[in-house]
Amino acid sequence: MAAPAVPDTASGSRAPLAGSASPASPAAGTLTVSATTVTLRRHGKGGRPTGSFTLTANGGPVAAFTITVPASVAGVLTVTPVTGSLAAGQSVQVELTVRKGYNAPLNTQVSVQPGGLAITVDYLRRSH
């Protein structure tokens, strides 16, 4: 009678154990903003009112962020980028632009998630 087959353990390769942990992923970061109020300014005659702020990922990466404009100004105020992700320490400049031909004052807030950050956006049209 033949002896039962014995697995070859000399090769040194082993299958991963069920339930073994993969390397830990870095802790999620938090977003900070460079300004909590942005005043939009018209640059040159006929130019659109624009402004910006900077988002930065601190303490780790931010897998996804979203910037929301209130529905009441959705057709008036454009934000670029609206979504994205950031590596730890990375920053992105967010541009705010008012629609061409908009001639009324604007005072609103855009929100940034995660973190529930609020950025006040002001535009006061000046008569010439």
Report pLDDT for 47.
Answer: 82
- Average pLDDT of 93-108? 93
In DSSP notation, 72-83 reads GGTTTEEEE-SE
Per-domain residue ranges of the chain: 30-123
The pLDDT value recorded for residue 124 is 86
> Any residues with CB less than 8 A from the CB of 59 and at least 6 apart, and which?
27, 29, 30, 88
Tens of pLDDT, residue by residue over 22-39, are 456 668 899 999 999 999
Q: Give the Cα separation of 118 and 110 in Å (integer).
A: 6
The confidence score (pLDDT) of residue 23 equals 55
Predicted local distance difference test score (pLDDT) of residue 108: 97
Task: Annotate 4-24 with DSSP letters as a single string.
Answer: PP----TT---PPPTTPPPPP
- Is 20 a residue whose pLDDT tops 70? no
CATH class for the region spanning 30-123: mainly beta
Q: pLDDT at position 44, please?
A: 76
Q: Distance between CA 123 and CA 100 in Å, rounded?
A: 13
Residues 65, 81 contacting (CB under 8 angstroms): no
